[in-house]
Amino acid sequence: MKRILIFAAYFYPHVGGYENNVYELSRRLVKRDYEIDILTCNTEKVAAYEELDGIHVYRLPCWNALNSTYPIPKPSLIGFRIFRELVRKKYDVVNTQTRFFATSFIGLIFAKLRKTPLVHTEHGATHSIVSNKVVDLISRSYDHIIGAMIVKSARVNIGVSEAACSFLKHLGASNVQLIYNGIDITIFKKRDTDYRRKLGINNNAILVTFVGRLIYAKGVQDLISAFPKIRTATHDTKLLIVGDGPYKANLEKLAYQNDCRSDILFLGQKNQDDIIDILNATDVFVNPSYSEGFGMSVLEAASVGLPIVTTDVGNTRKIVEDGRSGLFIKIGEPSQIANAASFLARNRQMREQFGKRSRYLTKERFDWDKLIDRWISSCIPQLAMKEPGKG
């Protein structure tokens, strides 16, 4: 049995597309008789060790820096014991997930000390987008020093989108492979739900939904700014904002300033089952993000069969066909969000047509069971490419 050690900054019970991707990859590898260990940060202060669906999860005590957007492992007796156990094992592959997390740098060091092939997976498509210029400078410097060191040391670099692959090459990576994030289409699908009733929303209302982390780079501020015009164009419209993050207070303040707070519902962080129910209650999904490595929330909405309004970032052009399953908008343009969302809100037949196409594209391109074979053939040492920088 081959053994793989994955270094991921976030993992369950922390909720997000990144965590879900690592989980889906891991559990499918377990089904193929691989032994999977995951080293992550204990952001939720739960058990230091857990076995989840055959996956061995080790959690390091950590600081939650930068408004809880950047977990940093901290020295501790628990961490020492975890590393002592991991060092005793022989791994066939070390896999790091996203270059800017501290866990990826630790994974690089571990792979070098243990002389284990390193496979790096990149979820980002650009340097991190932040409003603070000092943090932006530090972030870019880190990418071109530590991030570049990680990707140049990797035997294989996996980009989850074409944009992620281009970014890997920008950082100096070689042996770049394109392997999309996948989705379990047997879970994310159409189903009956009474979520509207739970929220006290009538069945005739139009629900516009965003799902994601509430940070500046997700562009939710543009969606809120666009909402008064969307609401004016339809008789009864509600905006559902699903997720949490350091920018939430700013977004709530903006909602009050726009005098439409009663029609904007901040639902907070939700588990996967709730998200599927929310998506099934939704009429139009909007992704106003400034940057995406892949766009997992967009893929989830497409898999459920929703029409999508989105910026052309990350991998969204592979998930959404402009004019056939959704509508593309420019980054930072609330007026375009308003026009596109209003158009779909007023046209039920178009929403249904776009939604069917969304579901079809998801099945064809992003079914996990179709992607796992490529991951194995690209990343297992016996089948992997030459050492980086050679040939």
Structural domain spans, the chain: 3-182+367-383, 195-366
CA pair distance 369, 355, nearest whole angstrom = 22
Where do runs of H (alpha helix) occur along the chain? 17-31, 65-68, 77-87, 102-114, 133-142, 148-153, 162-170, 195-199, 220-233, 248-257, 272-281, 296-304, 316-319, 334-346, 348-366, 368-379
Contacts of 215 (CB under 8 A, 6+ apart): 69, 245, 246, 247
Residue 384 has, within 13 A of its CA and on its CB side, a CA count of 22
The per-residue pLDDT for range 295-338, each reduced to its tens digit, is: 889 999 999 999 999 999 878 988 999 999 999 999 999 999 99
Backbone angles phi and psi of 353, in degrees to 5? -65, -45
- What pLDDT was estimated at residue 388? 47
What stretches in the chain show pLDDT beneath 50?
382-391
Starting from the edge strand earliest in sequence, which strands make up the sheet with 264-268, in order? Answer: 264-268, 237-242, 206-211, 284-287, 308-311, 326-329
Q: Which residue has the tokens 């990680």?
A: 150
Architecture of domain 195-366: 3-Layer(aba) Sandwich (3.40)
- What pLDDT was estimated at residue 259? 74
Burial bucket for residue 200 (CB in 10 Å: 0-12, 13-18, 19+): exposed
Q: What is the amino acid identity at position 82?
A: I
- What pLDDT was estimated at residue 73? 96
CA pair distance 158, 173, nearest whole angstrom = 10
Q: Degrees (nearest 5) of the Cα angle 378, 160, 293?
A: 155
DSSP characters over 236-261:
SEEEEEE---TTHHHHHHHHHHTT-G
Give the DSSP letter of residue 322.
B
CATH topology identical between 3-182+367-383 and 195-366:
yes
CA atoms 252, 256, 258, 264: torsion sign: positive
Give the DSSP letter of residue 386.
P
- What pLDDT was estimated at residue 150? 97
Q: What is the pTM of this model?
A: 0.76
- What pLDDT was estimated at residue 381? 59
- What pLDDT was estimated at residue 333? 96
Architecture of domain 3-182+367-383: 3-Layer(aba) Sandwich (3.40)
